[in-house]
Amino acid sequence: MNKFGPTRGEHLFRLVFSLFGLGCIGVLFAVHGVPRGPGLVEVVGIAGAFFGGSAVWSARALLRKG
């Protein structure tokens, strides 16, 4: 077990939380439409990159450890 990095449970929590966040962004687009201007950069650029990157990172770590 790696005592310096996140545990398997932490990666699983991050993956679920990230997928939930990406789902919330999808619901936002479905209800309000795609934002224009700076809102697009904020929602898609920052939030999408954070949740998407976190989901990919956690999924890769879980597949390696599993």
The residue ranges of every structural domain in the chain are 8-65
pLDDT > 80? residue 1: no
In terms of Cα–Cα distance, which of 54, 32, 35 is closest to 44?
Answer: 35
User: What does the pLDDT look like over 8-51, one tens digit per residue?
Assistant: 999 999 999 999 999 998 998 899 888 788 878 887 889 889 99
Q: Specify the pTM.
A: 0.81
18 and 54 in contact (C-beta within 8 Å)?
yes
Q: Concatenated DSSP letters for 12-56?
A: HHHHHHHHHHHHHHHHHHHHH----THHHIIIIIIIHHHHHHHHH
Query: Residue 20's pLDDT is what?
Result: 97
Q: How far is 12 from 1, CA to CA, in rounded Å?
A: 16
- The enclosing H or E element of 64 equals helix 48-65
Residue 14: predicted pLDDT:
95
